[in-house]
Amino acid sequence: MTYDISIKKVAVAGASGPVGTAILKELLKSQLFEITVLTRQASHHTFPPGVKVCPIDYTSTDSLIAALSGQDALVSSVSMAAVPSQRLLIDAAVKAGVKRIIPSEFGCDLKNTNTRKLPVFAGKVDIERYLDELAIKGETSYTLVFCGPFLDLGLRQGIFLNFEQRKANIYDGGEQLISTSRLGTAGKAVRRILTHPRETADRAVWVKDIDISQNQLLKLAQSLTPGEEWEVTHVSTAELEKESMEEIKRKEVGVKPMQGLLLRGIFAPECGNLFQHVHNSVLGITGISGPDLEELVASIFGTKKLE
């Protein structure tokens, strides 16, 4: 496939979720693209003006091909549970002549072998391999985006610490730095990929806003809640992995073991979530500083920023 392509028409799958909403917002703000949002036929989500909404049957190849015909790019931000279903979406995109596919990655560095082997990421790894096979055959091109755990979303969901209950599970000592990004940063990265198709073809890109440790976040949270006691529990991600794998061997594949493996992928030092080399400059990502981080945390939890 030639990479001298111009991307103007973009289809977005999973646009109603937090990642998809951020991507859609950035693409709309740029005013560079004609955007079509793919939705399930029973969906009642509404989208901003200027977006074409296309109800589809995600299990029907014909329905997907019809929706993707004429599109230059497909951006997927479907949930982790829906990641395997992207294969049918990708097949339809190839048949429809879509030139660039950005699958639902937006998280841990799956080029790290320790992270890649965790079963929780098996669906994403399978999709990566499939896209690479298609690109080698010249049937489409792709870009993978690794941005680490989402800082703003992770704070709201209690992944880094539970601000509302003043509790923190500190993983593997909490000293390791982790590269994190805000949701909007993923949106900016996608927008720049679509305007720089040649430079981003058939490869992974890494972006980040800031490197931060759990202990640094805990210290910041404690400074924003003076006089309040925090309950701190230390957790080994190696033990989480061991327990999760034992549950999987017993065919107990549910939320708990997958969550344990996800936490292992995010917080274990050997899983490589401190990005040493990133593509921030190429993709127009400026990142944030310590004061910006404090302001972000304070804004999320409605606390007063320290002077």
pLDDT tens-place string over residues 216-274:
999 999 999 999 999 999 999 999 999 999 988 887 667 788 899 999 999 999 998 99
Residue 223 CA neighbour count, 13 Å, CB half: 14
If one looks up domain 151-178+210-275+284-301 in CATH, what number appears? 3.90.25.10
Q: List the chain domain ranges.
A: 9-148+183-206, 151-178+210-275+284-301
Specify the 3-state DSSP secondary structure of 96: helix
* Cα separation, 305 vs 122, whole angstroms: 41
Specify the 3-state DSSP secondary structure of 1: coil
Instruction: Identify the pLDDT of residue 306.
Output: 46
* Cα separation, 131 vs 125, whole angstroms: 10
Smallest CA-to-CA distance from 65 within 138, 57, 1, 40 is with 57
* Cα separation, 173 vs 81, whole angstroms: 30
Residue 300 CA neighbour count, 13 Å, CB half: 21
Same topology between domain 9-148+183-206 and domain 151-178+210-275+284-301? no
Those residues of the chain that have pLDDT short of 50 are: 306-307
Angle at CA of residue 250, ends 244 and 253, nearest 5°: 55
pLDDT tens-place string over residues 175-190:
999 999 999 999 999 9
Quick check: pTM over 0.85? yes
Give me 110's structure tokens.
């799956």
Are 33 and 18 in contact by the 8 Å Cβ rule? The answer is no
Smallest CA-to-CA distance from 271 within 203, 186, 177 is with 177
Q: Which amino acid is at 51?
A: V
Q: In b/e form, how buried is each residue of 127-149, taking b as 16+ CB within 10 angstroms?
A: bbebbeebbeeebbbbbbbbbbb
Q: CATH for 9-148+183-206, among 3.20.20.70, 3.40.50.720, 1.10.150.20, 3.40.470.10?
A: 3.40.50.720
Q: Which region, left, alpha or beta, applies to residue 53 given φ > 0 means left and ψ of -120 to 50 means alpha?
A: beta
